[in-house]
């Protein structure tokens, strides 16, 4: 079975965003192809994601429906308004298979037709590992990501935290770009060093889109402070070392950080890493392979399964 991904992200190595890595994993492990356009020779076209063509002047879903072949699409929460909301409406109606990573959306999307939950945002657990703790003169809090306009990453919360006139004398630093604190950009292969240098990882996002940094930090055995209201983060288990606060609420975030820092030295780093045990590249790819074979495979179709060595080593 030939599956083609329709996407902006062609699978570049060491990309700043996680999506290119996800495309590369599926290309290298399953032999799937990817481009910005529909492949009319493919058995299935996988639209990743429903808003992939939101900047086009034409109506992409109308064009894709005219193809007549099977369409699968990764779909999450419906935007409240605008062009993306219209594309979401078209996607749930036109797709032959809806894929979602959050359990809370499975029932809702099933009302439109076949829907499957798939693992997303795998962690390269051979790269993100536990290291010997680094001694600090003051507790070190770290944030990760690339900030653009709009403040969706929670930059305001980080700025307020860095200038909070409390007595704790915490240090706040960042990996990526655009943060209002000391920031350094890391090659993806070197990013684990940043997490391993932290006492606690803070996720200040005010968006419902799930960031990958909490999973990478957990794989390094680092305690995390997370907002409630992010679908995948809400599904993380209750483990000592995972602290939660109300999204966007500075006071609640501050208290969660204070509690985490007060309890430093009591966290089981291996237990934190174990939370990501199922979030592997192999599980991510095999989950997609099984779902596509279930819905679109033939009785004699065994699929394509490559070694994970190239994907996990890249």
| CB distance 227 to 201 below 8 Å | no
- Sorting pLDDT into bands at 50, 70 and 90, what band is 301? low
Rounded distance between C-alpha atoms, residue 73 and residue 97, angstroms: 6
**How does pLDDT run across 84-118, given as a tens digit for each residue?**
888 899 999 999 999 999 898 999 999 999 999 99
- Sorting pLDDT into bands at 50, 70 and 90, what band is 190? very high
Does residue 168 fall inside a structural domain?
yes
Indicate whether 284 and 269 sit together in one domain: no
- So what's the pLDDT on residue 52? 73
Rounded distance between C-alpha atoms, residue 143 and residue 194, angstroms: 10
Rounded distance between C-alpha atoms, residue 102 and residue 76, angstroms: 8
Indicate whether 66 and 186 sit together in one domain: no
| Residue 225 phi, psi (nearest 5) | -120, 120
Indicate whether 229 and 243 sit together in one domain: yes
| CB distance 84 to 208 below 8 Å | no
Indicate whether 196 and 246 sit together in one domain: yes
CATH number of the domain to which 236 belongs? 3.40.50.2000
Does residue 135 fall inside a structural domain?
no
| Residue-wise burial string across 156-185, b where 16 or more C-beta atoms lie within 10 A, e elsewhere | ebbbebbeeeeeeebbbbbbbeebbbebee
Looking at the chain, the whole-number percentage of residues with pLDDT higher than 90 is 68
Indicate whether 270 and 294 sit together in one domain: no
| Residue 184 phi, psi (nearest 5) | -135, 140
Q: Is the pLDDT of residue 306 over 50?
A: no
Alpha helices (H) in the chain, listed in sequence order: 18-30, 60-67, 83-94, 103-110, 155-162, 191-196, 213-219, 231-234, 250-262, 269-274, 281-296, 309-313
Which neighbouring-strand residues pair with 243?
Answer: 225
Q: Is the pLDDT of residue 192 over 90?
A: yes
Contacts 24+ apart (CB under 8 A), 52-56: 52/6, 52/7, 52/8, 53/6, 53/87, 54/83, 54/84, 54/87
**How does pLDDT run across 7-61, given as a tens digit for each residue?**
887 656 555 678 888 999 999 999 999 988 899 999 999 998 887 765 554 567 7
- Give the position of tokens 């930090």: 217
Average pLDDT over residues 162-190: 89
CATH number of the domain to which 81 belongs? 3.40.50
Q: Is the pLDDT of residue 165 over 90?
A: no
Q: How many domains does the chain have?
A: 2
- So what's the pLDDT on residue 64? 80
Q: Is the pLDDT of residue 168 over 60?
A: yes
Rounded distance between C-alpha atoms, residue 126 and residue 87, angstroms: 38
Global confidence as pTM: 0.89
- Sorting pLDDT into bands at 50, 70 and 90, what band is 266? very high
- So what's the pLDDT on residue 255? 96
The per-residue pLDDT of the chain, averaged, comes to 88
- So what's the pLDDT on residue 144? 97
- Give the position of tokens 């007595």: 167
Q: Is the pLDDT of residue 303 over 60?
A: no
- Give the position of tokens 């993806």: 188
Which domain range does residue 109 map to?
Answer: 3-122+280-313
Indicate whether 12 and 108 sit together in one domain: yes
Instruction: Tell me the longest C-alpha to C-alpha distance in the chain.
Output: 67
Indicate whether 34 and 112 sit together in one domain: yes
Does residue 299 fall inside a structural domain?
yes
Rounded distance between C-alpha atoms, residue 30 and residue 13, angstroms: 17
Does residue 96 fall inside a structural domain?
yes
Average pLDDT over residues 237-259: 97
What are the tokens at 64?
A: 């894709």
- So what's the pLDDT on residue 159? 95
| Residue 266 phi, psi (nearest 5) | -105, -5
Question: Which helix (H) or strand (E) is 215 found in, with range?
Answer: helix 213-219
Rounded distance between C-alpha atoms, residue 37 and residue 40, angstroms: 9
């Amino acid at each position: 079975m030939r599956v083609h991904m329709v996407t902006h992200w062609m699978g570049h190595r060491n990309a700043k965003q996680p999506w290119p890595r996800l495309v590369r994993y599926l290309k290298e492990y399953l032999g799937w192809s990817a481009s910005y356009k529909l492949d009319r020779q493919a058995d299935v076209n996988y639209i990743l994601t429903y808003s992939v063509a939101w900047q086009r002047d034409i109506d992409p879903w109308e064009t894709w429906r005219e193809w007549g072949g099977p369409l699968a699409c990764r779909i999450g929460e419906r935007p409240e308004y605008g062009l993306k909301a219209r594309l979401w409406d078209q996607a749930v109606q036109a797709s032959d298979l809806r894929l979602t990573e959050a359990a809370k959306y499975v029932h809702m999307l099933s009302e439109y037709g076949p829907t499957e939950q798939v693992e997303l945002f795998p962690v390269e657990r051979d790269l993100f590992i536990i290291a010997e703790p680094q001694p600090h003169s003051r507790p070190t809090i770290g944030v990760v990501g690339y900030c653009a306009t709009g403040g969706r990453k929670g930059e305001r919360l980080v700025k307020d935290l860095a200038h909070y006139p409390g007595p704790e004398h915490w240090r706040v630093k960042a990996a990526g770009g655009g943060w209002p604190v000391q920031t350094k950009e890391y090659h993806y292969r070197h990013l684990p060093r940043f997490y391993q240098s932290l006492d606690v990882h803070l996720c200040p996002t005010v968006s419902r889109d799930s960031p990958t940094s909490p999973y990478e930090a957990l794989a390094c055995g680092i305690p995390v402070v997370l907002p409630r209201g992010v679908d995948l983060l809400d599904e993380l288990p209750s483990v000592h070392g995972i602290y939660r606060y109300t999204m966007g609420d500075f006071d609640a975030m501050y208290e969660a950080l204070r509690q985490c820092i007060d309890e430093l030295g009591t966290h089981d780093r291996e237990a934190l890493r174990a939370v990501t045990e199922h979030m592997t590249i192999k599980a991510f790819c095999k989950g997609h392979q099984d779902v596509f074979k279930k819905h679109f495979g033939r009785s004699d179709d065994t699929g394509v399964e490559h070694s994970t060595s190239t994907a996990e080593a890249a």
